[in-house]
Amino acid sequence: MGLLVALAASAMAAPVRVGDFTAMGESPWKAVQLSDRVPATRYSALQWDGHAAVEARADASMALLARPLTIDLQSTPVLCWLWRVDGVVQRADMRRKDGDDYAARVYVAFSLPPEALGIALRLQLALGRSLYGELLPDAAVNYVWDNRHPVGTRAFNAYTERAAMVVQRSGTAQVGRWVAERANVLADAKQAFGDLPFKASLLAVASDTDNTGEQARAGFAELHFVGADEACQFAGPKP
């Protein structure tokens, strides 16, 4: 019996930890300012309630904290993470460009082969990248802590239909404390864009308030990928 348990355990995919914020200067995580005309959200690594975390502070600002991502989504499609916010963005509205702000968001970008995009979409993406830069992905899924829409709400981003928005957490009931999350990013990408050969290319966290001009503070910790049928494996204190 012990041997069978050991074999079963070894067959499970090991968690892929992608959220090490202990040495920001030496880590693959880099702050990315999307526009020189918009102040940048500030990010800093710290120990927060026993978690090796990153703190985001937004003040009418926007910037991603991003890292390249190479992961086998077939074996480990589920992203797990901890996050917390001090409050929601009061005037945000995910369906409007002037309300496209979130106290916290986790962003997964994907690349697709040219044949999966088609000529028209490739031209559209090329135009978009000429306007907004090379970070515009072939496709992306954003998990957001929203202010008003129910958990599970799905919509395309107010600026582009290449970014799907998923309300992972909403409202103020759990502000001020760490909350554990899990999301099958491959399933969510397929639900938004169809059954395509998605390749994860970028992972980012953000707190952004550039459209509403508000302030926000958020924390992120312990980002890791696990198999579809496996439990998240948080190493720090339980939320």
pLDDT in tens, 148-185: 999 999 999 998 888 999 999 999 999 999 999 999 99
Residues of the chain with pLDDT below 50 are 1, 3-10, 130
Contacts of 179 (CB under 8 A, 6+ apart): 82, 83, 84, 169, 239
Q: What is the pLDDT of residue 224?
A: 97
Contact 51, 239 (CB under 8 A): no
CA distances from 7 to 12, 37, 114 (A): 9, 55, 40
Q: In whole angstroms, what is the distance from residue 3 CA to residue 120 CA?
A: 55
Q: In whole angstroms, what is the distance from residue 134 CA to residue 107 CA?
A: 16
Residue 73 token pair = 């989504």
For residue 186, give the nearest of 216, 151, 228, 149 by alpha carbon. Answer: 228
Domain 14-226 sits in CATH 2.60.120.260: yes
For residue 181, give the nearest of 134, 154, 221, 126 by alpha carbon. Answer: 221
Q: What is the pLDDT of residue 175?
A: 97
The separation between CA 67 and the C-alpha centre of its own chain, rounded to angstroms, equals 11
